[in-house]
Amino acid sequence: MRHDVADVVVIGGGATGASIVWQLARRRVGRVVLVEQDAIAGGGTGWSSALVRQHYTHEELARMALHSLQVFERFDEVVGGDAGFRRTGFLVLVKPEDVETLAANVAMHRRVGIEAEILSPDEVADLEPRIARDDVVAAAWEPRSGYADPVGTTAGFVEAARRNGAEFRVGARVERIVAGPAGVEAVETSGGPIATRTVIVAAGYRTRELVAPLGVDLPITPIRHDIAIVGRTPDFGPPHPVISDRINGSYFRPEGPDMTLIGTTAAHEGHEDPEVEQHREPYAEDVETLVLRFSKRFPRQEEATLRKGYTGVYDCSPDLQPLLGPVREVPGLHVGTGFSGHGFKLSPVVGELIAEQIVTGRTELVDLHFFRPHRFAEGQPIQSSRAYSVGTLG
């Protein structure tokens, strides 16, 4: 059996792990190895709707989303490769009781440098005349947002990491993280042990089971999320922007030139399901609900045809925010997990922040303490003073 030594081991080859490994490799931290049990982008990442929006209710996340957007916009130059970013604009529709909150959030977005504005119902009609707007009192609009290709993005990070000397063990499963009184000592994989002092676990909801034997409880649950894709009627015209319809609880994203991808806006609308990755068939009633929400917002789309349905997994934390940074109980152990259905767009900035934290012990853009993994054990989950009445936009 081969005996390996690495300066840093990253567990998980989704968008988060791939971004982290690239950011570490370019900082020349020594020998960096990523271990992925399945395929690169085969977990939550590969099934992601990959919306790239900046609308958040926390300033920290808004700053992070803006930073990530700037990477998506110049991905080939900054990372290399094609992230498939499509700028469609992002329209947020909220219930009347959330209009003041919307205005407060957009004011915060503008303060941190995000291009965003509040639209009146007439302005919404000018922008997207095909939607039903009798229930729309106000909306937020971000012209620079859109969506990307999650597999292309992850592949871009992987190739950039390889060019900077990182190594990949794809098809090797991490069975155990070994730690002693001084901290992390090794990871045991199905391909043999790797001795290391630093491990970053970016293994989605499975992060919980990987750190639990070390006495660390991270409250992350796997939640099913069903997606429906419909073919729009031939008379629809050009694609619509990405729409987050917080009134009906769904988002609508163009898929190719003539289809729309539909998902739910509330992270906890799906069911907890540890078997989710073995059963990707969506529940028929969930798909039907999604399609109905689309035709409710686009009334002339009652004859849109269902093309496809599938299920992906959200790694949900109790406050629906990620757990990022060092795990205080085990020196050398770090996590990037709990993204609760909004981690794809954050992957460029999360990689940067975690690598910066490991190399310098601090971060510039936002303080990672905000996302500390032990905030639940302290009874201090993240709370927003600008949260919406339904679901969240983080």
Ligand X SMILES: Cc1cc2nc3c(=O)[nH]c(=O)nc-3n(C[C@H](O)[C@H](O)[C@H](O)COP(=O)(O)OP(=O)(O)OC[C@H]3O[C@@H](n4cnc5c(N)ncnc54)[C@H](O)[C@@H]3O)c2cc1C
Which residue, judged by CB position, is nearest to ligand X in the bound state?
14
Instruction: Please report, in angstroms and rounded to a whole number, the separation of the first and last CA atoms in the chain.
Output: 46
DSSP 293-360: HHHHHSGGGTT-EEEEEEEEEEEE-TTS--EEEE-TTSTTEEEEE--TT--TTTHHHHHHHHHHHHHH
Looking at beta carbons only, is 241 or 341 nearer to ligand X?
341
Lookup result for tokens 């997606």 = 227
Q: Nearest approach, Cβ of 169 to ligand X (angstroms)? A: 9
Q: Nearest approach, Cβ of 167 to ligand X (angstroms)? A: 14
Alpha-carbon gap, residue 372 to 257, rounded angstroms:
41
Q: Nearest approach, Cβ of 308 to ligand X (angstroms)? A: 13
3-state secondary structure of 9: strand
Q: Nearest approach, Cβ of 175 to ligand X (angstroms)? A: 7
Decide if 264 contacts 270 (C-beta within 8 A): yes
3-state secondary structure of 375: helix
Looking at beta carbons only, is 163 or 176 nearer to ligand X?
176
Looking at beta carbons only, is 131 or 194 nearer to ligand X?
194
Q: Nearest approach, Cβ of 303 to ligand X (angstroms)? A: 25
DSSP letter at 110?
Answer: H
Looking at beta carbons only, is 301 or 347 nearer to ligand X?
347
Q: Nearest approach, Cβ of 226 to ligand X (angstroms)? A: 8
Helices vs strands, H then E, count in the chain: 9, 21
Q: What letter represents residue 120's amino acid?
A: S
Q: Which residues bind ligand X (CB under 6 A)?
A: 11-17, 35-38, 42-45, 47-51, 173-174, 202-204, 206, 210, 225, 227, 263, 312-314, 339, 341-345
Looking at beta carbons only, is 135 or 334 nearer to ligand X?
334
Looking at beta carbons only, is 6 or 51 nearer to ligand X?
51
